[in-house]
Structure 1
Amino acid sequence: MLDCSHGLVCLLGYTRDRVNRKNLIVVWNPLIGKSVEIPDRADIVIGFGVCPKTSDAKIVKISRFVEATAEVFTLSSGAWRSVPMNKPLKSKS
């Protein structure tokens, strides 16, 4: 379990198929017994929450393979969007 917010639970795991193994992200509403599988690639998911203004569930992840890339999945749109990230400055020690 990644997190829960506003009655929704975000679950992380992997498919059982060892040959074509992939990440599995599911947003589940235990009150009504409904769940939605979120399409994903091999990235690191780091956060889950519900926007208080729109009541829309969101998942945040950072890519392991592309430098300084973050994405946000919005449940209502059913799509990932890229979010700009600032790179840390290199120190001149």
Structure 2
Amino acid sequence: MRLDKFLKISRLIKRRTLAKEVADQGRITINGNQAKASTNVAVGDELTIQFGQKRLTIVVESLRETVKKDEATTLYKIQKEEAVK
């Protein structure tokens, strides 16, 4: 599954176009490597996303094409959340 689509479905980022912009700005890494919006995400991958003053590290738990809002958090597990100075 594409990175931008995963971020939208998991509701980590609200819109796919916004997810694409964040990836194009170089604020997302997958397993330590810079990621583009079209990069494929697999189960077990570690994603690090830079949100302004916050850095979020998650592990992909499952991939699904559609998911209900209250089940979106089952797609990933938060490893750590830290403030960036």
TM-score after normalising by structure 1: 0.36
Q: Which has the higher helix share?
A: 2
Say which structure is richer in strand.
1
Q: Please give the TM-score of this superposition, normalised by the length of structure 2.
A: 0.38
